[in-house]
Structure 1
């Protein structure tokens, strides 16, 4: 197995979660930290917002701030796991189930959040039109992601009833899907962060909210960097079918950036595989 969880990733996740828990605890335990953290961003005496707007914000933060980014990281970095004897054990679907569940749950929460805000008159603030435009653009991105996933084509491969398939053969349909799905997915992440930040300002949120969100996003960013540097971003095609050059998808470059590809070695070789090349591509 070529992978081992880097110590930096373990420490980053542990410290990041501890920091988020500490901010939340300090915000609810009586004392001066709670008083400071509970004050709105504008330094007003109280935080007032309509219940529908409050729940809209909560659902959108859970969706775009928590579930959807985790689903993206699962799809990028969890295709081959340390417990997996790859390439003898191929096509572990843990990452796929996690990605499907996290993205599906995130889209459900996002849809509920949109329904709560439909018909709301809006706020007399110059930032409000930007928040509305970015929010609906994100909703459109989510819809395109769902449609592209449904239209990704067939799988195929040696273990399928029909060997020919869009993914196994890397057909034009599959290539277009990967370009669209990956491009929209990763480009929507900074847009989501900006939209949430504007929403927090519009709602005059308590200080602990942006502090905890920034801590969480920083944790995910450092974790992603550690996993990327450790070679955890493995080509989807090789994760499913292995590095054998006889598979048609192994004879073309992967689509995206920063993907690790491995050279084909005899299965009896006990030593860990080493990347044949680290293409400037995504999973």
Structure 2
């Protein structure tokens, strides 16, 4: 009996503690915060499983808010901010929260996001008070009161999550997945709703998909097929192979130009977002492909003394475009992050093409070794400028 008398007060105390703990769920309307924090409006943000709660006092332009999100990892960080001059990250006046080293207590600081390579911990252009942060069951929360300029009833909000904190004091760079790059919209403080244009978001994603599809078909598919036509079809169909080869490569270039133009448009619409390796590979690829097309108009006649050197240039640049194009297709797939089946489909295509190339290589060499130069029919020449048995110059192929 004495044991029950001891346990009952303890159980009551635990019950009371559970009752006063904040409540968190997948939707903002059922989220409740401790210390009697109540907000007039809330939105479930469209990216990164995040939520914004706020109350706006229009009489003195004061915004009281709570931002809640799960960091990319438990030891990561969350951020919410206002961009006074644009809709992206650059120029954002941000509040960033993360855990103190060695515990679950939180730190929240103000940062100026001057560029993707310059994040400065400093006072922001708005007067911020009651700045706090909390952590509960994996969820991080930022609370703040912000004095806004008079008459500011809509704002460009930007939010983000990251995976780690450098030296326990500074947020490390976040991921560049589509949801990270789309974590922004316009917030109407009085109406209590987001003004995100779903059609604009879908248009941006559609442009990226078109860019990826065009370049995959161009450099990743048509161009390798064109090279195979030149190497293997000439053994069996001369001079028809030349026109098939030219048709493939010209089609590849035209589609590639469309893909390159789409990439330039995407870059201009996403200032500050840089995929350096993919961009540099794309520029190099386009320049080499243009040189390859120019080779068609700079091609010396078959018996010209410089034809041998033109062949070296033509083959070298062609194989360079082939390798660089395939690598950049994979880079693009990595950034676009489509369903896994698309990447597997392209790998399957390359595997089938590689198998066909190996088979044709074997067949071609068998045919070449069985045939003798000088007989009626098609003469076999693997390389332009090859000399015959009498020391003379054989006719050069295209």
TM range, smaller chain: 0.5 to 0.7
Aligned pairs for 1:106-117 (under 5 A) are 106-117=252-263
Structure 2-normalised TM-score? Answer: 0.41
Among 363, 368, 373, the alignment partner of 1:243 is: 373
Give the corresponding residue for 1:55: 210
For the pair 1:191 / 2:324, whether they are aligned, the reply is yes
1:130 and 2:277 equivalent?
A: yes
Q: Secondary structure at the match of 1:177?
A: helix
Consecutive unaligned residues of structure 2, counting only runs of 5 or more, are: 1-176, 180-200, 391-397
Shift in alpha-carbon separation, 1:195–1:231, aligned structure 2, 3 A? same
Length, aligned pairs only: 186
Per residue, is there more strand in 1 or in 2?
2
- Name the CA distance, whole Å, in 1 between partners of 2:223 and 2:255: 10
Q: Does 1:213 align with 2:346?
A: yes
**Gap regions ≥5 residues in structure 1:** 1-41, 85-91, 155-166, 265-282
Aligned to 1:95: 241
Matched, 1:71 2:220: no
Assess, with a 3 A threshold, how the Cα gap between structure 1 residues 73 and 263 changes in structure 2: closer, same or farther: farther
Which of 187, 203, 211 does residue 336 from structure 2 map onto? 203
**Cα separation, 1, equivalents of 2:241 and 2:346:** 25
CA shift for structure 1 position 119: 3.8
TM-score scaled to structure 1, two decimals?
0.56
Q: What secondary structure sits across from 2:361 in the alignment?
A: helix
Separation (CA, whole Å) in 1 of partners of 2:219 and 2:382: 31
Contact 1:179 1:255 in 2 (8 A): no
Question: Alpha-carbon deviation of 1:234?
Answer: 8.3
Task: Work out whether residues 52 and 116 of structure 1, in 8 Å CA contact, stay in contact via their aligned partners in 2.
Answer: yes
In structure 1, distance between residues paired with 2:313 and 2:388: 25
CA distance in 2, matches of 1:125, 1:184: 30
Contact 1:77 1:232 in 2 (8 A): no
Asked if 2 retains the 8 angstrom alpha-carbon contact of 1:227 and 1:233, the reply is: no
Q: CA RMSD in A?
A: 3.8
| In structure 1, C-alpha distance between the alignment counterparts of 2:341 and 2:382, rounded to whole Å | 45
Describe how 1:147-158 pairs up with structure 2 within 5 A: 147-154=294-301
Structure with higher helix content: 1
Taking the aligned partners of 1:149 and 1:229, their CA distance within structure 2 comes to: 29
Structure 1 residue ranges (4+ consecutive) displaced by more than 4 angstroms after TM superposition: 122-126, 232-235, 261-264
Cα displacement (A) at 1:174: 0.8
Which residue, 361, 366, 371 being the options, matches 1:228? 361
Between the aligned partners of 2:382 and 2:245, the Cα distance in structure 1 is 23
Distance 1:114 1:105 in 2: 14
Which of the numbers 359, 376, 383 marks the counterpart of 1:254?
383
* Shift in Å, 1:51: 2.0
Name the CA distance, whole Å, in 2 between partners of 1:263 and 1:219.
38
